[in-house]
Amino acid sequence: MTTTISPELMIGSQAPRLTSLPPLSLYIHIPWCMKKCPYCDFNSHEVRTERGDMPEAEYVAALIRDLETAVPQVWGRPVVSVFFGGGTPSLFSAQSIETILSTVRALLPLELFAEITLEANPGTFEMQKFTDFRAAGINRLSVGIQSFNPRHLKALGRIHNGDDALRAIEIALRNFDNLNLDLMYGLPDQTLEQAQTDIETAAASGASHISAYHLTLEPNTLFHRYPPPLPDDDLTAEMQLMIEQTLANNGYENYETSAFAQPGREARHNMNYWLFGDYLGIGAGAHSKISFRDKILRQVRYRQPKAYVEKTRASTMDAGPALLEQREVGRNDRAFEFMMNALRLTRGFAIETFLERTGLPITSIQRQLDEAEQRVLITRDFQHVAPTLLGRRFLNDLLQIFLPEKRIG
């Protein structure tokens, strides 16, 4: 494990203290998928069933050991949400998911109505399996549709087609009344009309939440090495406006840059991220953010599943979890990390929340707030800060104002 000490701590300046600890979520990473998509930069590994290289039971045991050794860091704190991400967590059996959740409930005070989400892909849908997931304790499903267009699905390397996507939604809605659909736009050779058909199909499905992401070419992906023909910036901007208008007309609120929800169906887990809440991440490559009264830590688990399993075997309650990296979030980074997340929210944030989550007074970024307001990128009063429509359209420009280097200079 490597530990990085921020420069201000090295010179002895006192870190700001938190008056209260933020809400706590739990993230559980399951890193296997049926096929690695060419645009995906997540820590996911393609299953090769003939080699039997998805050691489900062994990995579940490793997750449990990881959680047991991490619990002392968050002892007694209630968990408001649980998220099974990947990869494709729905590849695991409902029995494995139930075993993990039973351990969570035994070790942590899980809130009575905690949101518990499982990610799934249409290519892995079976009616009985998803009935069993619901019985195991999952109460929210997030389905990676991406598109209903067979040509675009093929270009994205997906293993399902449009009919599979519609069938998956039908099965999901029989078992879950809280359903998210992930879609993408700006796809290879996609037209505005095709993007509109996708979003209208999603809106008509009855899903309570829709996430619409612009396809980006991430480093270390096949698409980055061999870029496909993508729509230009003007066309993708038209797609974004069309998506926002279509979903608004269908009763969805655009409460975050890429997230749209029916009233009261915002993702609690993601809202906790965006408001600089805490999250304990277990599983291969999982990230954590854990606050204490006098410090905020960020942690990373070992990325490769085999190494992760081996390292968890050697971890102990006294030594703590097996970490690849741990660093303390310094004073200068706290404000930026908070703003980087909270300014994604259409409604912005309460100034009181900034103080609670960072330990810093809002005056610590007074000059940056003044600049953002002068450039009409935010609105604010004595209680609240929110991005303007211009600020949401040029979010990167807005966030650059709060970069630590800019503040130090």
Spatial contact of 59 and 86, defined as CB atoms under 8 Å apart: no
For 378-388, write each residue's pLDDT tens digit: 999 999 999 99
**Domain presence at residue 295:** no
**Domain presence at residue 113:** yes
The pLDDT value recorded for residue 12 is: 38
Those residues with Cβ within 8 angstroms of residue 404's Cβ, 6 or more apart along the chain or in another chain = 332, 333, 335, 336
Instruction: Point out the residues of the chain with pLDDT beneath 50.
Output: 1-12, 50-51, 406-409
347 with 267, same domain: the answer is no
202 with 118, same domain: the answer is yes
94 with 215, same domain: the answer is yes
The pLDDT value recorded for residue 265 is: 97
**Torsion sign (Cα): 164, 167, 173, 176:** negative
130 with 268, same domain: the answer is yes
260 with 120, same domain: the answer is yes
388 is in which domain, residue-wise?
331-408
Q: Could you give the CA distance from residue 278 to residue 354 in angstroms, rounded to a whole number?
A: 14
251 with 147, same domain: the answer is yes
**Domain presence at residue 241:** yes
**Domain presence at residue 209:** yes
| CATH code of the domain in which 337 resides | 1.10.10.920
The pLDDT value recorded for residue 160 is: 86
241 with 345, same domain: the answer is no
74 with 212, same domain: the answer is yes
For 206-216, write each residue's pLDDT tens digit: 999 999 999 98
| CATH code of the domain in which 200 resides | 3.20.20.70
The pLDDT value recorded for residue 328 is: 96
The burial class, CB within 10 Å (0-12 / 13-18 / 19+), for 303 is: middle
Last residue of a domain, one of 272, 288, 314: 272
340 with 213, same domain: the answer is no
**Domain presence at residue 347:** yes
The pLDDT value recorded for residue 210 is: 98
Q: Domain tally for the chain?
A: 2
